[in-house]
Amino acid sequence: MASAQFGPPGGGGGGSGNPFGGGEGPPSGDNPFSGGGFRFFESHRITIISAHAICATLAFAFLFPVGGIMIRLASFRGLWLVHGLFQIFAYILFIAAAGLGLFMVHEIPPQAHVWSYAHPIIGLVLLAVLFFQPWSGLLHHLGFKRDPRRGFFSYAHIWIGRIAIILGIINGGLGLQLSRFYGIVPASNGVVAGYSVGAAIMFLLYFFSIVVGETRRRRARRAAPLHHKRERYDGSREQVRYA
């Protein structure tokens, strides 16, 4: 894993190191890329790679960030549940993308050395880590109901989620770079530009929501000490919340 590359060897794209012949398909004859499994992938490559890219992009460049923005800026009853279901749906999309990615790795011959690149490794790490996010989120919510202070599960859920979203957005760019190197379905300049602009906008919105959310939380903490309960005008007690 330590030797994983973030780009093609030598920094080039589609050069002589490309096992797929720079996007023109494997040459005929005694070539390891002409096996039956690879022929199946070749015949369906546009559909498979497009579905992989669309599912992963929807998950990390739209749904996960929107779910994070929602929990920081929105305020309505049952928000935590809506946030959780929203993120679970995004994770299901990512599972589909990862499944297609693993299928591609299985179909592409070992000579391609796909596992020497960071894109599939980061994808598997994200797939494993995000599996625990719903559970840490539930423990964070249950703990918050008892005590509005952030605990271990709170910080774990929040920071793993933030890092995963940023890493997932970056990994999308690495995937586009890899598609250009192998040349099977190379990402066009328009696709690369569109992803870059869209992902950058979503990242900025997500970062803005974090800043606003943390600012609100600090103000709430200054306004009311921990565990402080204020007497409302009707005599009932309202616990101040600032997760």
- Could you report the per-residue pLDDT of 34-58, keeping only the tens digit for each? 444 556 666 688 889 999 999 999 9
- Could you report the per-residue pLDDT of 194-212, keeping only the tens digit for each? 999 999 999 999 999 999 9
What residues does each domain of the chain span? 36-239
Q: Roughly what angle, to the nearest 10 degrees, separates helices 79-107 and 118-130? A: 140
Strand partners, 238: 230
Q: Are 164 and 171 in contact (CB under 8 A)?
A: no
The angle at the Cα of 68, spanning 66 to 71, to the nearest 5 degrees, equals: 110
- Could you report the per-residue pLDDT of 71-129, keeping only the tens digit for each? 999 989 999 999 999 999 999 999 999 999 999 888 887 878 889 999 999 999 999 99
- Could you report the per-residue pLDDT of 130-182, keeping only the tens digit for each? 999 999 999 888 887 777 778 888 899 999 999 999 999 999 999 999 988 87
Q: In this structure, which topology does domain 36-239 adopt according to CATH?
A: Four Helix Bundle (Hemerythrin (Met), subunit A) (1.20.120)
